[in-house]
């Protein structure tokens, strides 16, 4: 039977497509990339990776393909690193290759590669060095900033107290308190919790963060080059960014009017002084766009991660009131009720320290990590990784690595306690990642979590209208493991 013209064309297209796929796959195998699920031209491996539970779907794939595997975003490979040993080997032992930041929608389209977190090369080195020095000058890791956090913890306690015995969602209160610590460093002032301008600032940041962790956010990361041309809710990011820029611009103008170059008050003062010093350098990295990018980096890194950790902490302690009671016993023994918790107390509180570490490990709030990239062609664990390939360290696979944590999927403070009840560190505890690209605000976050949590437990018993067994402490389903459950609590003064 004759096929006819239409049938012949269709058959020719099918044969051509089949031969193209066979040739394409043969070329991939010849490149000796890390193994991974079946790949199709244009579609890549998207059919094998969930956009709503991506971290867990990648962990599951690694059980079949190993700790170094490839997925394809369209025709572009992305290398996934799974487990502590593999992540540490890449980011520490081969830091010269994998320190570069991967290309993402937020890096290229939103922040134009400005700031610290998403930039590369000399810009990243200069801005990171400057920011670390400046933050240390303002007391990060020292008593000075500890006193700022203690002050904010006092306001947080009063806000909790004002709710009396009425159940409330602590999310906003925690975010306001943590935000004010960052504001005091960046802008030199704290804001009243009812300040409309402050609330607007946090609302804009929250909307951007919510988009980042949504399926839309995953797609934006996967397709950074084409996403700017696609209509959708991600367009709101650009509008929010313009409003945030106006907020920072106004703060800069106010600082210029009152700045004392011999006595900088905050991060903006310090950046303005550096800008003036380098005003005749045509290649300077100290200009407003990098200032704005760095300020937003500080807010993103310093607000959502820390406030979400505290939000998880309170929920976990409601789930395990016996753990909360043991922390309070240690508070009473070491600190008492006559003074506020101080940073120096932590070394004398091994159980509290272990619980905080376990909260951070179990909460696992940045399960995908932030993408890296290969800065040159390299061979890693026997596989070829071409220059500029995105490399993603799967932090959830580190924090829940069964080789290093006996019960990785269960909350258990004994992961950080020895048999005598002394605190013990665990090298796979990497909530802030590892290597040269580890979180800039790690020291600040650790201080805030300890001081705010111990101050709340010093003053209150945490209560819930639900029985502990009815409280769910795993993340919201379908949110890529980064959105904590909503819940309500109330407090009773101790």
What does the DSSP assignment read for 92-143?
Answer: IITHHHH-EEPP-HIIIIISTT-SSTT--HHHHHHHHHHHHHHHHHTTTTSH
Q: What is the pLDDT of residue 164?
A: 79
Q: Is the model more confident about 68 or about 119?
A: 68
Mean pLDDT of 35-59: 88
pLDDT at position 6: 61
| Cα 472 to Cα 464: distance, rounded to the nearest angstrom | 12
Torsion of CA 13, 19, 22, 27, to 10 degrees: -110
Helix (H, G, I), strand (E, B) or coil at 34: coil
Whether 341 is covered by a domain: the verdict is: yes
Q: Convert the pLDDT of each residue in 295-308 to its tens digit.
A: 988 888 778 889 99
Residue in the structure block whose two tokens are 């976990």? 316
Are 362 and 394 within 8 A, CB to CB?
Answer: no
β-bridge pairing 390-394 and 76-82:
parallel
Q: Is residue 443 part of a domain?
A: yes
Give the CATH number for residue 122.
Answer: 1.10.630.10
Residue 65: Cβ-neighbour burial (10 angstroms; 0-12, 13-18, 19+): middle
pLDDT tier at 213, thresholds 50, 70, 90 = low
453 in a structural domain? yes
Residue 171 lies in a domain: yes
Would 88 be classed as within a structural domain? Answer: no
In this prediction, residue 465 carries a pLDDT of: 94
Q: What is the mean pLDDT of residues 386-403?
A: 96
8 A C-beta contact, residue 401 and residue 346? no
pLDDT tens string 219-277: 666 666 666 666 777 677 778 888 888 999 999 999 999 999 999 999 999 999 999 99
Identify whether 291 is part of a domain.
Answer: yes
Q: What is the DSSP-derived secondary structure letter of residue 403?
A: T
Please report the pLDDT score of residue 23 as a whole number.
47
Average pLDDT over residues 356-368: 96
- Mean pLDDT of the residues in the chain: 88
Q: Which of 111-115, 222-226, 232-236, 467-471 has the highest mean pLDDT?
A: 467-471
- Domain total for the chain? 1
First to last CA, the chain: 90
Percent of the chain with pLDDT over 90: 63
| Mean pLDDT to the nearest integer, 397-414 | 97
The per-residue pLDDT for 159 is: 96
Residue 72 sits at φ, ψ, to 5 deg, of: -120, 130
pLDDT at position 1: 44
**186 closest CA partner among 170, 167, 205, 169:** 205
| Residue 357 in domain | yes
Task: Say what the pLDDT of residue 106 is.
Answer: 64
Question: 201 is in which domain, residue-wise?
Answer: 115-366+402-493
Residue-wise pLDDT tens digits, 73-89: 878 899 999 999 999 99
**Residue 218: band (very low, low, confident or very high) from pLDDT cuts 50, 70, 90:** low
Strand stretches in 269-327, DSSP E: none
Q: Bridge partners of 81?
A: 68, 393
Nearest by Cα to 85 from 376, 373, 372, 434: 434
Residue 109: pLDDT band with limits 50, 70, 90: low
Residue 23 maps to a domain:
no
């Amino acid at each position: 039977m004759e096929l006819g013209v239409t049938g012949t064309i269709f058959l020719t297209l099918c044969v051509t497509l089949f031969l193209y796929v066979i040739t394409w796959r043969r070329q991939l195998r010849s490149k000796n990339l890390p193994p991974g699920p079946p790949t199709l031209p244009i579609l890549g491996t998207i059919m094998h990776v969930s956009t709503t539970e991506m971290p867990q779907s990648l962990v599951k794939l690694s059980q079949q393909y190993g700790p170094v595997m490839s997925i394809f975003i369209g025709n572009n490979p992305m290398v996934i690193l799974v487990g502590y040993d593999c992540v540490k080997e890449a980011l520490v032992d081969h830091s010269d290759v994998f320190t570069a930041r991967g290309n993402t929608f937020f890096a290229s389209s939103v922040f134009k590669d400005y700031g610290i977190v998403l930039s590369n090369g000399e810009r990243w080195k200069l801005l990171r060095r400057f920011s670390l020095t400046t933050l240390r000058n303002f007391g990060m890791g020292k008593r000075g900033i500890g006193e700022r956090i203690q002050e904010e913890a006092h306001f947080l306690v009063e806000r909790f107290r004002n709710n009396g015995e009425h159940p409330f969602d602590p999310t906003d209160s925690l975010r306001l308190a943590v935000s004010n610590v960052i504001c005091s460093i960046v802008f030199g002032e704290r804001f009243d919790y009812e300040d409309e301008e402050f609330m607007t600032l946090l609302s804009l940041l929250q909307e951007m963060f919510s988009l980042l962790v949504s399926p839309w956010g995953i797609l934006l990361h996967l397709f950074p080059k084409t996403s700017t041309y696609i209509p959708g809710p991600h367009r709101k990011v650009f509008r929010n960014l313009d409003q945030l820029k106006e907020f920072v611009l106004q703060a800069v103008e106010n600082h210029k009017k009152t700045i004392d170059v011999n006595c900088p008050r905050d991060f903006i003062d310090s950046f303005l002084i550096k800008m003036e010093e380098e005003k005749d350098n045509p290649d300077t990295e100290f200009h407003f766009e990098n200032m704005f990018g760095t300020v937003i980096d500080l807010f993103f890194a310093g607000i959502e991660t820390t406030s979400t950790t505290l939000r998880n902490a309170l929920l976990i302690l409601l789930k395990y009131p016996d753990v909360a009671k043991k922390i309070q016993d240690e508070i009473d023994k070491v600190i008492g009720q006559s003074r506020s918790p101080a940073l120096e107390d932590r070394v004398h509180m091994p159980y509290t320290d272990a619980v905080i570490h376990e909260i951070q490990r179990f909460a696992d709030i940045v399960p995908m990590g932030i993408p890296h990239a290969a800065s040159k062609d390299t061979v890693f664990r026997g596989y070829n990784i071409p220059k500029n390939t995105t490399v993603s360290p799967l932090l959830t696979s580190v924090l829940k690595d069964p080789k290093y944590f006996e019960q990785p999927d269960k909350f258990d403070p004994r992961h950080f306690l020895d048999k005598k009840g002394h605190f013990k560190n665990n090298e796979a505890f990497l909530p802030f990642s590892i290597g040269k690209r580890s979180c800039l605000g790690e020291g600040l976050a650790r201080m805030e979590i300890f001081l705010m949590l111990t101050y709340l437990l010093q003053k209150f018993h945490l209560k819930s209208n639900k029985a502990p067994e009815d409280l769910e402490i795993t993340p919201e389903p379908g949110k890529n493991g980064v959105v904590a459950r909503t819940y309500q609590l109330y407090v009773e003064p101790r």
